[in-house]
Amino acid sequence: MEDKAHPLYSRSIQSAYPPGSTYKIVAAIAALQENIISPSWKAYCPGYFRLGRKTIRCWNPKGHGELDLYGAIKNSCNVYFYQLGLKIGLETWSKYSKILGFGRKTGIDLPNENAGLVPTIQYFNRIYGENGWTKGNLANLAIGQGELLTTPLQIAQFVMILANRGVYYRPHLVDHLYNYQTHKTIYFPTESRVVSEVSSEVFDIVREGMHQVVNGGTGWLGKVPGIDMAGKTGTSQNPHGEPHAWFMAFAPYSHPEVAIAVIVENGGSGGGVAAPIARKFLEMYFYNRLIPRPVIKKDTLQVEEGINPLPIDSLAPTPILRIPEIH
């Protein structure tokens, strides 16, 4: 109880964090579904974006050049999504955030679940006053920063929605209960739901962007050999210390079986830290073993924001320590 790391606190459902660039997919869905842009809409990234008197930086100081939506997702370009967020508007952004399951509890059969926070016009007017907030707030939200808060379980549910093109299931742990007095079994059926407001075509577009993320994009360190998959990295700024590292993924790409969300508090880069952890989980899921990796020089770890890449020895699977038998 006195441990400063709070080991008894269930972070997956009780902690809420800015989701970082994983949330760029929400902005993309909103813009596509409302016909604000097409996948071919392009924006130029010189490494920064000027909004009024403020200059907002992209994670890549050299810039990404001209990108369409696929390239912006693949390279997690902040400047592209700053501009996209301004085109979408706060009302539409908030609407699709809620459609996709954010700002409310998932309904998992565990106590004290956190609903997170999706800012709305009413929320900003109440907190800052009607003229107290600016377009800068919206630009920040579009890249998963600012007042927006999500739980790791909500991100996992979101990637399940993406994997299934809108179909998802209420997260649950209990399959059934058996009453030893009555000798009866009570089953808890899986509840399916559908995001009917988003078309399959829109889901296909963002899924392809996520496919490119793990195939040469910011999430390449999350790629599992022999498994076609999709994912999205995130590096969310944290006022209390180092950024949080995020990675969400689903696999296989064509016929998904598993969805995963990883967050490392104060971990740094989502591509460099969270993605390899997700990869190890998926390796165990598909192969029941960890797959050794070739040694990669540190200066070749071109991942999102380049913050705190994993040390080279951590790219190899953790060895299993065997205790010798005592005779």
The values of phi and psi at residue 279, to 5°, are: -60, -40
Whole-number Å distance between alpha carbons of 268 and 313: 17
Given 12, 15, 21, 269, the catalytic residue: 21
Whether residue 64 contacts residue 217, with contact meaning beta carbons closer than 8 Å, is answered with no
Q: Mark whether 97 is an active-site residue.
A: no
**First-last CA distance in the chain:** 40
Q: Where are the alpha helices (DSSP H) in the chain?
A: 11-14, 24-33, 69-75, 78-88, 90-99, 121-128, 135-142, 152-163, 200-214, 275-287
Whole-number Å distance between alpha carbons of 230 and 53: 38
Whole-number Å distance between alpha carbons of 18 and 35: 27
- List the one residue out of 139, 136, 101 whose CA is nearest residue 118: 101
The secondary structure of the chain in percent helix, strand, coil, rounded to multiples of 5, reads 35, 15, 45
Whether residue 41 contacts residue 69, with contact meaning beta carbons closer than 8 Å, is answered with yes
Whole-number Å distance between alpha carbons of 77 and 75: 5
Whole-number Å distance between alpha carbons of 76 and 15: 25
**R_g of the chain, CA atoms, integer Å:** 21
Helix, strand, or coil (residue 289): coil
What positions carry a catalytic annotation?
21
